Amino acid sequence: MMQKAKALDAADPLAHLRDAFFLPEGVIYFDGNSLGAMPKAALAEVDETMQQEWARDQITSWNKAGWFDLPTRYGDMLAPVIGAAPGEVVVCDSTSLNLFKALFAGLGLRPGRKVILAEASSFPTDLYMIEGVLAARPGLEMQLAENLLEAIDERVAVVLLNHVDYRSGALADVAAITARAHEMGAVVIWDLCHSAGVMPVGLNAHRVDLAVGCSYKYLNGGPGSPAYIYCAKRHLPEVQQPLSGWWGHEAPFAFAPGFSPDAGIRKFLSGTQPILSFRAMQAGLALIAAQDMATLRAKSQSLTALFIELVQARVPELELASPRAAQMRGSQVSFRHPEAYAIVQALISRGVIGDFRMPDLLRFGFSPLYLSHMDIVNAVQILHEIMADGLWKEPRFQARQAVT
């Protein structure tokens, strides 16, 4: 297996990108689906922003350095990565805030309908934001389903779902679900947090209505980096969002007393954006935007397939919790074990960084930009050793930390 891994790495067209990231010696990083590794270029971006644009040029940098246009400039940079066109994506705020905006926007496009349909297994914040919308709009209803294709009917206004399941890594069918929703007259919102940057998404190809996502996972934007929202151009003349802040005004520096929204994607902006975080994010965006999504997807599938093969051969006590077929999963593999938390902590102590999700999942994310097939071989060897010698049973690995 080692020879196979070395041969795959030798033929890898993305191998050179590993040098673009800070990767500590002795660490194998399988947590790009929670926080991407830091691009080396981010240091220079932030340094330039702080030492020149802020320290020397001060407030003139809103014009001189183009700070005011960063949400749409970076949105246009991201657009091809998720299959959108220029003017359909704006980078701003957090995924949760953008989801709140998108839910209201979708409901506004279907004013006669009352049901928001979501997956029962959705990432919790998606459901929390729906609850917030229900509190603000009495008379609406949230409906949860295991099978969305069967649950979409003529009562549904908005369908909200995750492109990749955050626990199992299962990949949803964008084409089929979007088509079914449109057949029933519903608007679709896709959450791309666990797919953007590692696979083609094809928002325009599938006529998706709205989408949201974060930039700190596979886009490597940095902890808490700004999120983004997509709206198909066909909806922009009509669509509205509730957080009508001055950055979304058609003429923000006219300081008019009443709100008049921008005619384009900037209408989804609210308040002043965090420029230092934007500039740190630019390095990761530039790296991703320069890649072919099909190439990234092919390597992702190769990495995850090898991982599954080796873990099942060498650590059979772990139960596969992700789809076995490569085309059915994202860039993530999860395994089940009753002591998953302790095993993950033991792995981290040995330099293999994954994470834990309730109640019993060991979760591993695979970034094609900086992981190699030999990383897979070495990580599974460490996992095998931990299970064989019972390292995970030590008391230090049992105590739960605040972030798992």
CB 116 within 8 A of CB 103: yes
Angstrom distance (rounded) from CA 319 to CA 49? 47
Indicate which residue of 216, 278, 356, 397 is catalytic: 216
- Domain termination residue (choose one: 289, 320, 340): 289
> How are beta strands 115-119 and 28-29 bridged, if at all?
unpaired
Mean of per-residue pLDDT scores for the chain? 97
Q: Which residue has the higher pLDDT, 146 or 374?
A: 374
Please indicate whether residue 216 is annotated as part of the active site.
yes
Q: Of the candidates 390, 379, 377, 326, which has an alpha carbon nearest to the alpha carbon of residue 348?
A: 379
Q: Of the candidates 71, 63, 66, 67, which has an alpha carbon nearest to the alpha carbon of residue 98?
A: 71
Indicate which residue of 126, 191, 355, 375 is catalytic: 191
Query: Domain check: are 327 and 381 in the same one?
Result: yes
In a domain, 208, yes or no: yes
pLDDT score at 309: 98
Query: Domain check: are 109 and 233 in the same one?
Result: yes
pLDDT score at 398: 87
**16: Cβ contacts below 8 Å, ≥ 6 apart:** none
Q: Of the candidates 369, 91, 367, which has an alpha carbon nearest to the alpha carbon of residue 211?
A: 91
pLDDT score at 404: 77
In a domain, 38, yes or no: no
Please indicate whether residue 104 is annotated as part of the active site.
no
Q: Is the pLDDT of residue 401 over 90?
A: no
Q: Which tokens hold the place of 48?
A: 């330039």
Query: Domain check: are 81 and 167 in the same one?
Result: yes
pLDDT score at 402: 83
Query: Domain check: are 224 and 320 in the same one?
Result: no
Query: Domain check: are 273 and 331 in the same one?
Result: no
Tell me the pTM.
0.96
- Residue 318, domain CATH: 3.90.1150.10
In a domain, 403, yes or no: no
Range 205-221 average pLDDT: 98
Cα–Cα–Cα angle for 263, 268, 270, nearest 5°? 115
State the distance between the two ends of the chain, measured CA to CA, in whole angstroms.
31
In a domain, 353, yes or no: yes
Which residues, in sequence order, are bridge partners of residue 212? 191, 229
In a domain, 392, yes or no: yes
Q: Residues 300-356: pLDDT tens digits?
A: 999 999 999 999 999 999 999 999 999 999 999 999 999 999 999 999 999 999 999
256: phi then psi, degrees, rounded to nearest 5: -70, 150
Q: Residues 223-263: pLDDT tens digits?
A: 999 999 999 999 999 999 999 999 999 999 999 999 999 99
Q: Is the pLDDT of residue 375 over 90?
A: yes
The backbone region for 352, taken as left when phi is positive above 0, alpha when psi lies in -120 to 50, beta otherwise, is beta
Query: Domain check: are 158 and 208 in the same one?
Result: yes
pLDDT score at 347: 98
pLDDT score at 203: 98
Neighbours of 374 (CB within 10 A): 14
Angstrom distance (rounded) from CA 404 to CA 385? 22
Range 186-191 average pLDDT: 98
Cα–Cα–Cα angle for 340, 31, 221, nearest 5°? 150
Quickly list H helices, 61-151.
61-64, 70-78, 95-109, 124-136, 148-151
Q: Helix 340-349 crosses helix 373-389 at what angle (to 10 degrees)? A: 120
Query: Domain check: are 300 and 270 in the same one?
Result: no
Query: Domain check: are 242 and 363 in the same one?
Result: no
Range 43-65 average pLDDT: 97
In a domain, 73, yes or no: yes
Quickly state the pLDDT bin for 392 (edges 50, 70, 90): very high
In percent, the amount of the chain with pLDDT more than 70 equals 100
pLDDT score at 315: 97
Q: Where are the beta strands (DSSP E) in 282-360?
A: 319-320, 332-336, 352-353, 355-357
- Domain termination residue (choose one: 289, 316, 342): 289
Query: Domain check: are 232 and 250 in the same one?
Result: yes
Query: Domain check: are 332 and 360 in the same one?
Result: yes
Residue-number span of the structural domain to which 270 is assigned: 44-289
- Residue 275, domain CATH: 3.40.640.10
pLDDT score at 224: 95
What are the distances in angstroms from CA 81 to CA 19, 51, 192, 194, 280? 22, 31, 11, 13, 18
Q: What is the DSSP code (8-state) at residue 21?
A: B
Angstrom distance (rounded) from CA 223 to CA 49? 18
Q: Is the dihedral of CA 255, 261, 263, 264 positive or negative?
A: positive
What are the distances in angstroms from CA 101 to CA 208, 282, 309, 394? 16, 24, 42, 46
In a domain, 322, yes or no: yes
Quickly state the pLDDT bin for 39 (edges 50, 70, 90): very high
Indicate which residue of 21, 123, 341, 364 is catalytic: 123
Q: Is the pLDDT of residue 1 over 80?
A: no
What are the distances in angstroms from CA 7 to CA 125, 310, 373? 42, 16, 9
- Domain termination residue (choose one: 256, 289, 322): 289
Please indicate whether residue 137 is annotated as part of the active site.
no
Q: Residues 113-164: pLDDT tens digits?
A: 999 999 999 999 999 999 999 999 999 999 999 899 999 999 999 999 999 9
Query: Domain check: are 6 and 56 in the same one?
Result: no
Indicate which residue of 93, 363, 366, 397 is catalytic: 363
In a domain, 189, yes or no: yes
Q: Which tokens hold the place of 404?
A: 């798992």
Q: Structurally, how many domains does the chain consist of?
A: 2
Quickly state the pLDDT bin for 209 (edges 50, 70, 90): very high
Q: Residues 168-181: pLDDT tens digits?
A: 999 999 999 999 99
Query: Domain check: are 63 and 167 in the same one?
Result: yes
Q: Of the candidates 280, 359, 269, which has an alpha carbon nearest to the alpha carbon of residue 46?
A: 280
Please indicate whether residue 292 is annotated as part of the active site.
no
Please indicate whether residue 262 is annotated as part of the active site.
no
CB 184 within 8 A of CB 156: yes
Q: Is the pLDDT of residue 386 over 80?
A: yes
